[in-house]
Amino acid sequence: MRLAALVESPDHVCARYRLRAFEPYLRAAGHSLEFHTLPKNVWARLTLARSVRGADAVILQRKLLSRPEVAWMRRRIPHLWYDVDDAVWLRDSYAAKGFASRKRLARFQAVVQAAEAVIAGNAYLAAHATAAGARAAWVIPTCVDPIRYPLARHERDGADLVWVGSSSTLRGLEAIAPLLNTVGAQVPGVRLKLVCDRFLHLPSLPVVETPWSEATEAAEIAAADIGISWVPDDPWSRGKCGLKVLQYMAAGLPVVTNPVGVHPEMVLHGQTGFLASGEADWVEAIRTLAADRALRREMGAAGRKLVEERYGVEVGARLWLNLIDGLLAGRATA
């Protein structure tokens, strides 16, 4: 069957990890998947909707359209599916106006009610889609391809922490700058590798500035020793799908993160890393891992195995193929 995806950009991180990653498996099963950048202008969007009328199904990714746009599109498309990997009915953690947005919520309700199916990156998003009136919501997690990631060697004394992300998500790391400075002051030999397009200065923790590129990202992660992630404990962050944590584990790194959202599902405390709530927890977790190469290697291997079993692209592709078959046959149940 012919599938068309309406995305922010084919190169956007969401399109790459939640749709493009599965293309080879869809193709092998006899499906095609074409990508269309969704224009910002409403009239251009309506023209685009007309151009995908030949598709058997259209996957709208993340975007919130007005109720008239959705209704217009729904009348012209045999199957409309909505893929979401953020709490898009809210403003983000750092919005000056706060989380609640009547406009966003109304558009989210319009989209999920019109869609034949909602494909959510985690259970929190699926539950909110159902509460907003979705007929059915399935969870397909954001997935990574472990084969793309070389395994960390864990041969050095001390440790390089690694954080990977973008300018927008770096705000979360900036929020815990005092904590990171304490780690630097209390755990000798630790550095922080930032794989990003923007960097920050920490007086007590040396920062290794590593410009991000898709080509080198996996190798840069694997060259470190401990992956770190932190998000605010708020409604927006609970919708996050934990991509950077999966990347760390795919590269065989133990992870230290706070227990918010999907983090406790991915980071099994004491097995694939540590869930750290306060400053003392963070210092102890990083001190323990920095001093024990064998423990880093053991936890890293357990994390890699978890990714392969639950979050690998083969797993996600099977979920997509089963869902597609069920939806088209009219027998899919959430």
CATH number of the domain enclosing 17: 3.40.50.2000
d(CA 97, CA 116): 32
Higher pLDDT, 1 or 81: 81
Q: Does the residue 334 lie in any domain? A: no
CB 294 within 8 A of CB 302: no
Q: Tens digits of per-residue pLDDT, 85-104?
A: 999 999 999 999 999 999 99
Q: Phi, psi at residue 73, to the nearest 5°?
A: -70, -40
From CA 9, how far away is CA 19, in angstroms rounded? 12
Question: Does residue 232 register a pLDDT over 90?
Answer: yes
Distance from C-alpha of 308 to C-alpha of 330, rounded to nearest angstrom: 30
- Reply yes or no on whether the pLDDT at 30 is more than 80: yes
Same-domain check for residues 257 and 293: yes
Residue 193 lies in a domain: yes
Domain co-membership, 241 together with 281: yes
Q: Looking at residue 332, what is its pLDDT?
A: 64
Query: How many structural domains compose the chain?
Result: 2
The three-class DSSP label of residue 93 is: coil
Question: 85 with 167, same domain?
Answer: no
Directed axis angle between helix 177-186 and helix 279-290, to 10°? Answer: 40
Mean pLDDT of the chain: 95
Q: What pLDDT is attached to residue 170?
A: 93
Convert the pLDDT of each residue in 301-313 to its tens digit. 999 999 999 999 9
Q: Which of 53-62, 164-173, 179-188 reaches the highest mean pLDDT?
A: 179-188
- Report whether 197 contacts 211 (CB < 8 A): yes
Strand duo 207-211 + 273-275: pairing: unpaired
Beta-bridge mates of residue 32: 2
Query: Do the domain assignments include residue 320?
Result: yes
Answer yes or no: do 192 and 241 share one domain.
yes
Distances (CA, A) of 51 to 6, 137, 314: 11, 27, 31
pLDDT at residue 331 tops 70: no
Identify whether residues 181 and 236 lie together within a single domain.
yes
Asked if pLDDT for residue 239 goes beyond 70, the answer is yes
Residues 85 and 191 in one domain: no
Domain span at residue 240 reads 146-310
Domain co-membership, 64 together with 181: no
| pTM for the full predicted model | 0.95
Answer yes or no: do 116 and 67 share one domain. yes
- 3-state secondary structure (DSSP) of residue 83: strand
Q: What is the pLDDT of residues 311-323, one digit of tens each?
A: 999 999 999 999 9
Q: Would the pLDDT of 74 be above 80?
A: yes
Q: Is residue 75 part of a domain?
A: yes
Pair 250, 319 in one domain: no
